[in-house]
Amino acid sequence: MTRDWLQRDTASHFAEYVSVVAERLGDRVKKWITLNEPAEHTLLGHALGAHAPGKTLLFDALPVAHHQLLAHGLAVRALRAAGATDIGIANSHGPTWPASQEPEDVEAANFYDLLLNRLFADPLLLGEYPSGLGELMPGDVESDLKVIAEPIDWYGVNYYAPTRVGAPQGAEIEFGGLTLPAELPFSVREIENVPVTDFGWPVVPEGLTELLTTFRDRYGDRLPPVVITENGCSYDGIDDQDRIAYLDGHVRALHGALEAGVDVRGYFVWSLLDNFEWAEGYERRFGLVHVDYETQERTPKASYGWFQGMLRAQR
């Protein structure tokens, strides 16, 4: 029988795996992330087919989201049983901007926000699915939500950009390397008049402030301390001034969220080294350190020195 996230028992198998890992490494590893980007694995891996396992189930992929969330809750319990006291999850989030204030664009943007943000945050932080989604999930959802909402010590946010969304346009859309089917109840539009990375992603630092303050207002005291578990950009070159500008803007945006009262405890650049990306392989370079993939030579980029200096200046 195939074991994947469409199968409910994958959640319990994952918890067993977590128990083994915690028993082996718990004396050295103090901070734990249960899952990284379950939204991407659900939406890009199972709904749109852009990531492994390459399924194109569209909304029939929703059980994948539920089973991953259930696996997270079971993993939290397994880690607590092993003595772990510093546990979080890393979810990808971003503001959703309607293409206009026309009702059909606002409705489409709200639906996209539900899929990207609330589908994965509401069950974890509120113990409930957004209205209408719980009925689409498999199993005893009410009981599962008690597991999914196991208290965590911090909430991880991977932030890259906002998304501008409008009503469906009745045709396939090429966006960010993806082909979005015509039958989706929304369409993703370009954010105009902003720089883009070599990946084609818009550079909008203020979106990080907006996202964090929105989460603070939406979840109130149910939102634990926040850690920015990923933030970064893809640019080629060793003298990567564009990456320096990107990071400078986002660190300042993070400071704005702190000043607005958001409890942020950490910030991680994605990534230290150029690396293998999900569907892009070695084509995109996110690292502060350049990696020659033929020789494995590591060369710190200009952004590495800038980030090092920025950190030292905070002391």
Q: Which residues are catalytic?
A: 37, 230
**Any idea of the CA torsion for 108, 203, 38, 128, to the nearest 10 degrees?**
-50
Cβ neighbours, 10 Å, residue 125: 21
Inter-residue contact 149 to 123 (CB < 8 Å): yes
Dihedral (CA of 209, 211, 212, 218) sign: positive
Contact 283, 234 (CB under 8 A): no
Contacts of 56 (CB under 8 A, 6+ apart): 47, 48, 49, 181
Coil vs helix vs strand at 53:
coil
Query: Residue 181 corresponds to which amino acid?
Result: P
* Cα–Cα distance measured from residue 205 to residue 193, given in angstroms and rounded to the nearest whole number: 14
The strand ranges marked E within 119-162 are 154-158
